[in-house]
Amino acid sequence: MRIFNRIVVILLLAGLVYLGIATVVYIFEMGPYELEDLPNALGFGGLYEGLNGYVGNIESGNIDALDVIVLSAITLLGLVLFILELKPPTPRRVRMQRGTYITRRAVEREVSPLVEQEPEVLQSNVKVKAQRRPGAKVQVGASIRPGEDARSVQSEVQSRVQQQMAETGVPVSDLRVRANESDPRQTKTRVK
Partner 1 sequence: MDNDLQLARAAAEAALATEGVYSLGTGRYVEAATYGPGEKVTGVVVGPDEVRVHIVVSYPPPEPIPALAERVRERAALRSGGRAMTVVVEDLEVVRDENL
Q: Which residues bind partner 1 (CB under 8 A)?
A: 93, 96-97, 99-103, 105-106, 109-110, 167-171
Nearer to partner 1, 6 or 105 (CB): 105
**Smaller CB distance to partner 1: residue 109 or 176?**
109
CB of 6 to partner 1, least distance (A): 20
CB of 111 vs partner 1, minimal distance in Å? 11
- In angstroms, give the least distance from the CB of 31 to partner 1: 51
Minimum distance between the CB of residue 192 and partner 1, rounded to whole angstroms?
21
Among residues 60 and 97, whose Cβ is nearest to partner 1? 97
Nearer to partner 1, 96 or 150 (CB): 96
Three-state SS string across the chain, please? CHHHHHHHHHHHHHHHHHHHHHHHHHHCCCCCCCHHHHHHHCCCHHHHHHHHHHHHHHHCCCCCHHHHHHHHHHHHHHHHHHHHHHCCCCCCEEEEECCEEEEHHHHHHHHHHHHHCCCCEEEEEEEEEECCCCCEEEEEEEEECCCCCHHHHHHHHHHHHHHHHHHHCCCEEEEEEEEEECCHHHCCCCCC
